[in-house]
Structure 1
Amino acid sequence: MQQQVSTKTATLYRMVMPEHTCPFGLKSKDLLERQGYAVEDHHLETRPETDAFMEEHGVKTTPQTFIGGERIGGYDDLRVHFGIDPPKEEQSDTTYQPVIAIFAVAALLALGLSWHQYENPFTLRAAEWFVSLSMTILAIQKLQDIESFSTMFLNYDLLAKRWVRYGKIYPFGEALAGILMTAGALVFISAPVALVIGTIGAVSIFKAVYIDKRELKCACVGGSSSVPLGFVSLTESLMMMLMGIWMPLKAFVLS
């Protein structure tokens, strides 16, 4: 005797026009299907049709999902409904995800370079590459929008507050030091640059966070960052300081 399996169904209304397919509609459909729902997929194919739908249901955006006759809402509401994200009132506007991603990729790159060069991923050079590659990738984030970065940087950096143009010079200095340290070249340039900007950054962050007790966002991954200013930001500056000390020590004293 064949057993009948009940299928959960959801109704989705999303914009699918010749010139535009709503990405959040596609993400909603994918999420529903991964949650085991059969999706009744209704396309809103013109602007008037979309406007009429929104007016009928008293909503300002699409897509909109209905489950069991109840309107759940858009993609973000679906994620809350399925317990993937906390309710909106409990969601934080800060996250460490960008710096975690950058440090993780930099670490793997460093291990890979060390493996290729020395047939051993766990070398001292790998640790050096981790810091220098992290600096370079972080500089790329800042250089995407220097104006935005420098504006956020002014919230806490002590030198930038006295000399505003330093905020626009900083990403280039970080990139230069990171690239040269990755190559192991021109230590007499890279080390002082890393030491100076790292020290100023560390002092500025320590004062803003631990003395003034200010709650700020860090410009370390660019001006649109949601990373809170604090221990992770301080660690970035301290790593630059240490590299600024270690690289000349290694090149001119220990060699």
Structure 2
Amino acid sequence: MLERTDPALLEKKAVLYRMVMPGHTCPYGLKAKDLLRREGYKVEDHHLTTREETDAFKAKHGVSTTPQVFVSGYRVGGHDDLRRFLGKSVADPKATTYRPVIVLFTLTALMALAASYAVLGNPFTLRAAEWFIAFSMVVLAMLKLQNVESFATMFLNYDLLAKRWVPYSYIYPYAEGLAGVLMVAGVANWLSVPVALFIGTIGAVSVFKAVYIDRRELKCACVGGSSNVPLGLISLTENLMMIAMAIWMALASTGLAPGHAM
């Protein structure tokens, strides 16, 4: 196998074969070309412009996919193989990750701060904290509703109520989104508070039982049914946030929440 330290590689020249057809340009081919150039390689870029030309290329080189990268006559392979060759990491689509929820909560926090600044002239207010939770509920509901069937299937693995009444797995994201929207507006607390308190409590108990009592290793449906986020702290936090928000809004309705401004 050719190593990057071999003298033949010092020229840093690469030959790239990729699909560039009238109705399709291979995105991985574009990624491979960009990566090579950023790494200082001079790229000899060959376009495969028809299906017949692509199939003939694959048959000739005994490969099943394009693009294909060659360095000093050695076939490196496709985009992922190129990343490995260059010493870069390759994402595992099946690996568990917290990145989606970290990005989500970061953006909803920034949205809340921005809204607070726009409305109240100060980003750091109690209303910003309320909006952060409410915005998070709405965005989480939106992610679930992108594919409600997939969400419901994953949700049924651990939610105690959904296991007993399957329609609840379809109702849940709509209820979460509705409660979140009402809490953003600060209206209809008589509806948003009990809804958030109910689904949050059932959810928290379900997650706690599945993860910390039954010790099950499951994927969390909190950011949709296709996520690789492990069930546990994140989903528990989502539900506890809803419970806390419901209690806070209930106190606000009775005037017992200090510093609350509707």
Normalised by the size of structure 1, how large is the TM-score?
0.92
The residue identity in structure 2 corresponding to 1:71 is R
- 1:50 maps to what in 2? 54
SS at match of 2:240: helix
How far apart are the structure 2 equivalents of 1:210 and 1:69? 55
The residue identity in structure 2 corresponding to 1:48 is E
Q: Give the conservation status (yes or no) of the 8 Å contact 1:114–1:125.
A: yes
Contiguous gaps of at least 5 residues in structure 1? 1-5
Cα 1:185–1:26 shift into 2, 3 Å: same
* Identical positions, percent: 65
Deviation, structure 1 residue 102: 1.0
Deviation, structure 1 residue 86: 5.2
Verify: 1:74 aligned to 2:44, yes or no: no
Verify: 1:132 aligned to 2:153, yes or no: no
- 1:3 maps to what in 2? none
SS at match of 1:235: helix
The residue identity in structure 2 corresponding to 1:181 is M
Deviation, structure 1 residue 7: 4.7
- 2:203 maps to what in 1? 201
How far apart are the structure 1 equivalents of 2:129 and 2:193? 16
Q: Give the conservation status (yes or no) of the 8 Å contact 1:13–1:43.
A: yes
Contiguous gaps of at least 5 residues in structure 2? 1-9, 258-262
Verify: 1:84 aligned to 2:88, yes or no: yes
How far apart are the structure 2 equivalents of 1:151 and 1:87? 25
Q: Give the conservation status (yes or no) of the 8 Å contact 2:207–2:236.
A: yes
Q: Which one of 183, 192, 199 corresponds to residue 190 of structure 1?
A: 192
When the two chains are superposed, the root-mean-square deviation of aligned CA atoms in Å is 1.6
SS at match of 1:155: coil
Verify: 1:230 aligned to 2:232, yes or no: yes
Runs of 4+ in 1 over 4 A off after TM superposition: none
Q: Give the conservation status (yes or no) of the 8 Å contact 2:80–2:90.
A: no
How far apart are the structure 2 equivalents of 1:7 and 1:180? 62
Count of aligned pairs between the two proteins: 248
How far apart are the structure 2 equivalents of 1:247 and 1:218? 27
How far apart are the structure 2 equivalents of 1:27 and 1:73? 13
SS at match of 1:54: helix
SS at match of 1:12: strand
- 2:6 maps to what in 1? none
Q: Which one of 22, 26, 34 corresponds to residue 30 of structure 2?
A: 26
- 2:242 maps to what in 1? 240
SS at match of 2:45: strand
Normalised by the size of structure 2, how large is the TM-score?
0.90
